[in-house]
């Protein structure tokens, strides 16, 4: 929901097929799998460090939320309920991995100024999981050298509301068979160049 382009999110929601040339390569799929493995490892590191990190309920299901008749939902990486550090609990835990360049951006500028999609995800999860009182712990593992960046992210009420409003806007547009505006005015815009729906978005008639 934090993606800058509402039309892109809308396409994903309605099940629009990605452009043929945008299909994930085997290499990219391995990178995705590697990222998930790193996140699992980071989970174990925090537990070994003495944090009470919980990621599943008593039935073994991942913690998450669902609203709007299950049309908007998400699963969190975990909740930290206690630990050795003198910080306030419980707190949302979200973990990502990044290459060296992106990792250093997080270190220099923080999550909100580096990746608004991640920041929006955190704010929305905090809101719908009732974890707004204490800052979330955002973790990034450097894929190149295994450095770890930790950031305490206070609840951003404005960002959470903006993200939630975007979800309502998209659902309303789909209900009325309307297509939302593009994020840019031409296909050479940097976000459009790497979008999996570039051909669909710029060639097909503007209707759902």
In a domain, 208, yes or no: no
Enclosing domain of residue 135: 6-203
CATH of the domain at 120: 3.90.320.10
**How many domains is the chain partitioned into structurally?**
1
Token pair of 54 as six digits: 């919980």
Is 36 part of a structural domain of the chain?
A: yes
Q: Evaluate whether 19 touches 187 at the Cβ level (below 8 Å).
A: no
Predicted TM-score (pTM) of this structure: 0.85
> Is beta strand 78-80 parallel, antiparallel or unpaired with respect to 53-54?
antiparallel
Residue 75 domain-assigned (yes or no): yes
Quote the CA–CA distance of 75 and 6 in Å, as a whole number.
21
Q: What does the pLDDT profile of the chain (208 residues) look like in tens digits?
A: 888 899 999 998 998 888 876 666 787 778 778 878 888 899 999 999 999 999 887 777 888 888 777 778 888 999 999 999 889 999 999 999 999 999 999 999 999 999 999 999 999 999 999 999 999 999 999 999 999 999 999 999 999 999 999 999 999 999 999 999 998 888 889 888 888 888 888 875 454 4
């Amino acid at each position: 929901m934090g993606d800058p382009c509402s039309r892109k999110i809308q396409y994903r929601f309605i099940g629009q097929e990605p452009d043929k040339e945008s299909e994930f390569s085997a290499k990219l799929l391995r990178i995705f799998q590697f990222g998930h493995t790193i996140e699992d490892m980071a989970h174990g590191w925090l537990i070994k460090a003495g944090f009470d990190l919980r990621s599943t309920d008593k039935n073994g299901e991942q913690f998450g939320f669902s609203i709007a008749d299950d049309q908007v939902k998400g699963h969190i990486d975990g909740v930290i309920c206690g630990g050795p550090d003198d910080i306030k609990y419980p707190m949302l835990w979200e973990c990502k991995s990044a290459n060296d360049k992106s990792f250093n951006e997080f270190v220099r500028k923080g999550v909100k100024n580096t990746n608004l999609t991640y920041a929006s995800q955190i704010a929305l999860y905090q809101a719908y999981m009732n974890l707004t009182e204490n800052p979330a712990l955002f973790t990034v593992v450097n894929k190149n050298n295994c450095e770890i960046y930790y950031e305490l992210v206070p609840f951003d009420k404005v960002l959470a509301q903006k993200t939630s409003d975007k979800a309502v806007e998209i659902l309303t547009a789909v209900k009325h068979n309307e297509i939302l505006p593009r994020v840019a005015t031409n296909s050479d815009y940097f976000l459009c160049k790497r979008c999996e729906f570039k051909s669909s978005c710029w060639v097909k008639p503007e209707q759902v």
